[in-house]
């Protein structure tokens, strides 16, 4: 196992989680910050999912290539910090997912509707 290659693959997997979390749970805030139209907000979400998928697939392939290769004589590489960061990102994603399922948001008004007080 080449730990340097495995660490690079795990970093790519970690890089896949960041845009995935952002476009899944915070796309409205990002669109408001960047002053995006609804169409551009949708494109932001699609591109976020696409690049997360590309980075995740590449990360899996690089990690598997590092696991399959024989050990080389290189500098000592520590995998623990990268694995811990990846686990934290995964836990954070599932906490946000659970929170989105259990939170009751007020119903948004459709055009033409009014509030009766």
The answer to whether the CB of 1 falls within 8 A of the CB of 64 is: no
Q: So what's the pLDDT on residue 9?
A: 96
Nearest to 59 by CA among 100, 109, 7, 104: 7
9: exposed, middle or buried (Cβ count in 10 Å: 0-12, 13-18, 19+): buried
Instruction: Domain ranges for the chain, please list them.
Output: 3-102
Q: What are the tens digits of pLDDT across the range 23-76?
A: 999 999 999 999 999 999 999 999 999 999 999 999 999 999 999 988 877 788
In the chain, what percentage of residues exceed pLDDT 90?
A: 73
What is the secondary structure of 29-59 as a DSSP string? Answer: HHHHHTT--HHHHHHHHHHHHHHHHHHHHHH
Distance CA 6, CA 79 (A): 8
Model confidence at 110, pLDDT cuts 50, 70, 90, reads: confident
């Amino acid at each position: 196992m080449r730990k340097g290659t495995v660490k690079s693959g795990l970093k790519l997997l970690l890089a896949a989680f960041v845009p995935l979390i952002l476009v899944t749970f915070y796309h409205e805030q990002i669109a408001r910050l960047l002053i995006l139209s609804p169409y551009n907000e949708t494109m932001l979400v699609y591109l976020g999912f696409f690049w997360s998928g590309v980075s995740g697939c590449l990360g899996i392939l690089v990690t598997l290539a590092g696991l399959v290769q024989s050990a080389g004589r290189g500098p000592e590489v520590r995998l623990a910090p990268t694995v811990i960061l990846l686990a934290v990102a995964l836990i954070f994603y599932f906490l946000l997912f659970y929170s989105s399922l259990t939170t009751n948001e007020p119903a948004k008004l459709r055009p033409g509707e009014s509030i009766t007080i």
